[in-house]
Amino acid sequence: MHLKILSGGISITKTAVVAIGGNAILRAGQKGSAEEQFGNLQNSMPYLVKMIKEGYDIVITHGNGPQVGNILLQNEIAAHKVPPMSLDICGAMSQGLLGYMIQQTLTNLLYREKIKKCVVSIVTQVVVNADDPAFKNPTKPVGQYYPKEEAEKLMKEKGWVMKEDRARGGFRRVVPSPEPVDIVEKDAIRRLVFSGENQEYVVVAAGGGGIPVVRTANGYTGVEAVIDKDLASSVLANAIDEKFFIILTDVDRVCLNFGKPDQTPISSMTLSEAERYYERGEFPSGSMGPKILAAMRFLQRGGEKVLITSGEGLMDALEGRTGTVITR
């Protein structure tokens, strides 16, 4: 929820930042063609259309892992013909690519429902600290796998950090994954979402966790890193003073003892309960962990409510029939 000051007085409107899961754009086993990604969006965007029909003004965030990986691969293959681009620029390219796909798909679906909204994408820079410890300990794998000899050559020539994945039989580049701390374009995003009597915009922002930048004496400069998309989404929500943060994933509810015989779904929990479960290892880093961490950070910084559910369960979750709600 958010307060808007209109000509007739103060109005309470329904607003949210919605982080959509990677499978909304590209599913496991797919090659990543434009046709596949548009097709997946045709199936996932109707959930957001229903939300908008219910009167919500939303900011949409999304992942970009496979897409930026493909852009990096294209860079490497064509490096002998055209200059390759740095990782921050590849991230910006993926924001434009996916922003266009989401804009077009959602615009067309809204048009069919006779909903007058302009869907806009903001190429979003996300501030990280230059002294973040992650820069000394790169852990995020990007790009393709290389045989040992080629990996050693790339480490020497380009200064890359590479780690072996024995299960995949090769070496892969790893880059820092620093903590997001601010959003450069936050004022523009806030103005688009929360200003005016007849809100006309649906905003797509912080795609793929945003473009990582650091503050310098002369402004901002991009860095070669990858930011977790859920953490960046939570920072964005706080930066625009949004109180409701929705994380869409593959399951309808968060569970304790996930995948075990005594698996227990959670319909609601407080921030302190989430912190306790997180500390005792209930939410692994490879699955629900980053989402719970993003939810906790959002609430710790002043957010009021987080909803974690699937796209299919979104409307039921908004009405309290499914989903996991976390509050302060």
Catalytic residues: 22-23, 140, 229, 291
CA-nearest of 78, 99, 98, 76 to 87 is 76
Question: Measured between alpha carbons, how far is 113 from 29 in angstroms, rounded to an integer?
Answer: 32
Question: Measured between alpha carbons, how far is 124 from 6 in angstroms, rounded to an integer?
Answer: 28
At position 2, the amino acid (one-letter code) is: H
What is the per-residue DSSP string for 215-260?
Answer: EETTEEEE-S----HHHHHHHHHHHTT--EEEEEESSSSEEETTTS
Report CA 310 to chain centroid distance, whole Å. Answer: 15
Structural tokens at position 253: 């509810």
Inter-residue contact 234 to 246 (CB < 8 Å):
no
Q: Compute and round to an integer the Cα radius of gyration of the chain.
A: 20
- Strands 305-310 and 244-249, bridge-based pairing: parallel
Question: Measured between alpha carbons, how far is 121 from 192 in angstroms, rounded to an integer?
Answer: 11
Report CA 69 to chain centroid distance, whole Å. Answer: 16
Distances (CA, A) of 318 to 27, 29, 146, 325: 25, 31, 45, 10
Burial of 4 from C-beta contacts in 10 A (0-12 / 13-18 / 19+)? middle
Q: Phi and psi for 79 in degrees, rounded to 5?
A: -60, -25
